[in-house]
Chain A
């Protein structure tokens, strides 16, 4: 059964990491606006032009 202490430790570490991530996210303003993101993701940003010209479709980020 000793392994449960390890599992508890890992679980707590994971939980603490997530809690830390949560606090950081809140601090950084991730959740200041809880409406716009849900609408923003609906907009498409693909450019619907020059489809025929293959030369443009090179990998260039």
Chain B
């Protein structure tokens, strides 16, 4: 047997590790800032790019794609090389993967605070960045598959299977959910509308959890836990069984995010069924991970790496038990839209992803730098502070979730809502938000301790960028085997051709399926009275999207007595046919807005946007003073309408030609309505006079952003009300 010497690429692993730690701190700091904004809503008063709605997607994207994403790459690049006994396929591809991914993160960090967003959760980035993500992801897959093809170990260890599934599925999900028609370089509309968009979004959203936060981390678990414990995995057979069943079942579970919504019931039930089935493969992984430590629990007492991993796997077990439970319709009726979901995702994110990443970092850094960890004591401190942080975060959020749901659904004996004012249900849980902020502070403190520990360890270590290794060459397959094999075997030896063909295959499938989606009329039950938004409302809707209102407000009234009583008639699928993208939301930090149209006066909205606490005492909504001042950009309205026409919204040529006229007229009307408030009239006239006297430019109220937003809010959910009066 010929022995071959080669070098593992450690440099790329180190780079990804540094990026993991850097973006981890950034993402969590943004999260912490958001947690404190629940307590001090005007913490970043008046700074549009630091407002809650714009920072929330930055937090989620940073922790998912920057922190966890880089951790995945670090772990995969380290373990894949060693499991396959080969250097990565191409150093150039590795570098493109690394720098491309960082560039995407930086562009996300710039665009999201500027309000450049599609508003679809975890897919907020606009279309040019979406394309960049697809390309970099293909580079990653190409590099991984290339390495697999030149491996020196014929058997593919189970972790590798998890990595392959991650690559394939994330590519498919990302492409299909990101189909959007551009209006300009930084603005696009989802090709899907309403119910369709919601379904595709959560098909993606749930599988982002499945194939970005779960399968790659299970792969990492199957490498790093046995390595750290120096024990073989409890049952290799179980790992195989649970891998194949997990990936089979996961992809169907998405609709459980849309229970009791306007999504057809059979689709909801399909999602629920598969979600419950998911418990088995999920717990298969959890049990396999924990039992790997059988007979090695004494090591857990002393080794911080194993401590972190044990808590990570336990967190995974808890989150994957909770997931199927939450997918039961009766449980979901309570938990959906509440802080329970925030607790659920943070058990997954902080424990499973966070702690497994920390364990991996503590395992890798001493090995990559050929030294010992600087301080075991500090690592243990990190472990305890972090664990306490998770508990302090999750428990109050569970309590908050239950409290919200109970208060929202509480009726008086006479049939009225006990807590008719939504604000009562908000102020009640402020103490929980305090505890959550403290828990988050603890968690991030632990992370900073780790970074200090790592820096000192690196300083005392030595640099080995290319690690020498030795393994026997892969034996040629015997004649007997190749005799019966055809063209595909040839293909498998040629990674570049394989990748190109695979990409073509994906593209063909994509095109075949996209074109009908755009061309074929949707078969959602249409409602005759539902009309497209007027140009001004469309612009207002884009402001709603830009400001991330969807982060705290839903537009989906479920058919429960408590919700119909509080918000109005429950939401129908046919009401959303012109909603590109859908804005149903997933969290009610504030009340639902689907029937907010004509509920309040224009003045109320104006004052509420300027200072929410003035109209609603105790509100934790931040102020939006820039909306009051900014001039509305009407230069793209026609282009936006034309894009909407391509997506099937029936604007006539005349509608588009008269867009500016229509906006001026509707704006004029709102300005007039605003004059009914003497305070407004006084201040506004004074401003106008001041501007005229000083020769400053003055934007009339009808041309300001607030007017468009008011137009949109006053329209919400009113189409059905028209129908009701027409019938009477």
| CA distance in complex: A56, B464 (Å) | 12
Question: Could you say which residues of chain B place their CB within 8 Å of the CB of A47?
Answer: 5, 468-470
Name the one of A14, A31, A49, A61 contacting B251, with C-beta atoms under 8 angstroms: A14
Task: Find out whether the CB atom of A15 lies under 8 angstroms from the CB atom of B248.
Answer: yes
**Contact, CB under 8 Å: A2 / B523:** yes
Q: Please give the distance in Å from B641's CB to the nearest CB on chain A.
A: 23
Contact status A59-B91, CB under 8 Å: yes
CA of A57 to CA of B87, assembled, Å: 13
Binary flags per residue of A29-55, CB closer than 8 Å to B gives 1, else 0: 011011111111110011101110000
Assess whether A10 is in contact with B172, with CB atoms less than 8 Å apart.
Answer: yes
Complex contact B7–A37 (CB within 8 A) = no
A10/B248 in contact, CB under 8 A: no
Contacts of A14 in B (CB 8 A): 168-169, 172, 251
Given contacts A1-B523, A3-B199, A10-B172, contact A61 B469 (CB under 8 A): no
* Closest chain B CB from A1 CB (angstroms): 6
B96-104, B226-234, B532-540, B622-630 - interface stretch: B226-234
Contact assessment for A10 and B176 in the assembled complex, using a CB-CB cutoff below 8 Å: yes
Complex contacts, B86 vs chain A, CB 8 Å: 61
User: What 1/0 mask marks residues of chain A from 1 to 29 whose CB sits below 8 Å from any chain B CB?
Assistant: 11110110111011101110110010000
CA distance A22 to B513 in the complex (A): 26
**Docked-complex contact A42 and B203, CB < 8 angstroms:** no
Give the interface centre of A35, A36, A38 by most chain B CB atoms within 10 Å.
Answer: A38
Whether B233 pairs with A38 at a CB distance below 8 angstroms is yes
Indicate if the CB atoms of B5 and A10 lie closer than 8 Å: no
Contact B466 A1 (CB under 8 A): no
Q: Which positions 458-486 of chain B face chain A at CB distance < 8 Å? A: 462, 464-471
B199-A46 in contact (CB<8A): no
Q: Does B672 contact A (CB under 8 A)?
A: no
Check B594 for interface membership: any CB of A closer than 8 A: no
In the bound complex, what is the Cα–Cα distance between A26 and B91 (angstroms)? 32
Q: Given A18-B248, A60-B7, does the pair A3, B240 have CB atoms closer than 8 Å?
A: no
> What's the Cα separation between A11 and B97 when bound, in Å?
27
B336 within 8 Å of A (CB atoms): no
B517 interfacial contact with A, CB 8 Å:
yes
Contact of B195 with A59 in the complex, beta carbons under 8 Å: no
Contact of B195 among A1, A25, A38, A56 (CB under 8 A): A1
Cβ contacts under 8 Å, B523 to chain A: 1-2
A61 in contact with B6 given A3-B192, A3-B199, A41-B223 (CB within 8 Å): yes
CA distance A5 to B465 in the complex (A): 49
Chain A residues with CB below 8 A from B520, complex form: 2
Q: In the bound complex, how far is the Cα of B164 from the Cα of A30, in angstroms?
A: 15
Q: Is B236 in the interface zone, CB < 8 Å from A?
A: yes
Assess the A45–B230 pair: CB atoms within 8 A: no
- Asked whether A7 and B524 contact (CB < 8 A) given A34-B236, A41-B223, A42-B232, the answer is no
**Is B189 interfacial (CB-CB < 8 Å)?**
no
Cβ of A2 and Cβ of B517 under 8 Å apart? yes
Which of B8, B252, B517 meets A3, CB within 8 Å?
B517
- CB-defined contacts of B431 to chain A, threshold 8 Å: none
Q: Which residues of A contact B252 (CB under 8 A)?
A: 11
Q: Interface centre among B153, B240, B462, by most A CB within 10 Å?
A: B240
A3 to B196 alpha-carbon distance, docked (Å):
6
**Do A45 and B264 form a contact, CB below 8 Å, given A3-B199, A15-B248, A18-B248?**
no
| B484-529 with Cβ < 8 A to chain A | 509, 513, 516-517, 520, 522-524
Size class of the contact patch on chain B: 35 or more
CA distance A54 to B248 in the complex (A): 48
Interface string of B239-268 (1 = CB under 8 A from A): 110001001100110000000000010010
**For the complex, what is the distance from the CA of A3 to the CA of B258, rounded to whole Å?**
15
Expressed in whole angstroms, the Cα–Cα distance for A60 and B82 within the complex equals 16
B320 CB to closest chain A CB, in angstroms?
A: 20
A contacts with B, residue count (CB < 8 A):
42
Residues of B contacting A37 in the complex (Cβ-Cβ under 8 angstroms): 155, 157-158, 236
A56 neighbours in B (Cβ, 8 Å): 468
Of A19, A22, A38, the contact of B232 (CB 8 Å cutoff): A38
In the assembled complex, the Cα of A39 lies from the Cα of B229 at a distance in Å of 12
Cα–Cα, bound, A42→B468 (Å):
18
Q: Write out the residue numbers on chain B whose beta carbons fall within 8 Å of the beta carbon of A31.
A: 240
Bound-state Cα–Cα, A31 to B172, Å:
27
Distance (whole angstroms) from the CB of A35 to the closest CB of chain B: 6
Indicate if B640 sits at the interface (CB-CB under 8 A).
Answer: no
Q: Is the CB of A2 within 8 A of B226?
A: no
Tell me, in angstroms, the Cα distance from A26 to B468 when the chains sit together: 33
Contacts of A13 in B (CB 8 A): 509
Say yes or no for B165: interface residue by CB 8 A criterion: yes
Question: B83 near A: Cβ within 8 Å?
Answer: yes
Q: How far is the CA of A47 from the CA of B370 in the complex (A)?
A: 13
Measured between alpha carbons, how far is A52 from B6 in the docked complex, in Å?
Answer: 17
Contacts of B223 in A (CB 8 A): 41
Chain A residues closer than 8 Å to B307, beta-carbon distance: none
Question: Which residues of the other chain, B, contact A46 by a CB distance below 8 angstroms?
Answer: 8, 467-469
CA distance A4 to B464 in the complex (A): 51
Q: A7-B200, A46-B467, A57-B465 in contact; A34/B522 too (CB < 8 A)?
A: no
Give the complex CA separation of A37 and B153 in angstroms: 10
CA distance A22 to B158 in the complex (A): 12
User: Pick the contact of A41 from B199, B226, B370, B469 — CB < 8 Å?
Assistant: B226
Q: Which residues of chain A are near B203, meaning CB under 8 Å? A: 7, 11
Which of B5, B156, B231, B232 touches A30 (beta carbons < 8 Å)? B156
Q: Is B85 at the interface (CB under 8 A from chain A)? A: yes
The A-contacting residues of B in range 140-192, CB under 8 angstroms, are 153, 155-158, 161, 164-165, 168-169, 172, 176, 192
CB < 8 Å neighbour of A1 from B467, B516, B524: B524
Given contacts A2-B196, A37-B157, contact A45 B517 (CB under 8 A): no
What chain B residues lie within 8 Å of A45 (beta carbons)?
82, 85, 469-471
Contact (Cβ within 8 A) B244 A34:
no
In the assembled complex, the Cα of A35 lies from the Cα of B467 at a distance in Å of 28
Q: Are B236 and A38 in contact (CB under 8 A)?
A: yes
Give every chain A residue within 8 A of B370 (Cβ-Cβ).
51
List B contacts of A34 (CB < 8 A): 236-237, 240
A41 CA to B465 CA in the complex, in Å? 22
With both chains docked as a complex, state the minimum distance between the C-beta of B166 and any C-beta of chain A, in angstroms: 12
User: What are 25 A-B contacts defined by CB distance under 8 Å?
Assistant: A1-B196, A1-B523, A2-B196, A2-B520, A2-B522, A3-B192, A3-B200, A3-B517, A4-B199, A4-B267, A7-B203, A10-B176, A10-B509, A11-B203, A15-B248, A35-B236, A38-B239, A40-B155, A42-B226, A42-B231, A45-B469, A45-B471, A47-B469, A57-B464, A59-B91
The 4 closest A-B pairs by CB, nearest first: A38-B232, A3-B196, A38-B236, A34-B237
New A-B contacts (11) at CB < 8 Å, excluding given A37-B236, A57-B464? A3-B199, A4-B267, A6-B513, A11-B251, A33-B155, A38-B226, A39-B232, A40-B153, A41-B223, A45-B469, A61-B87
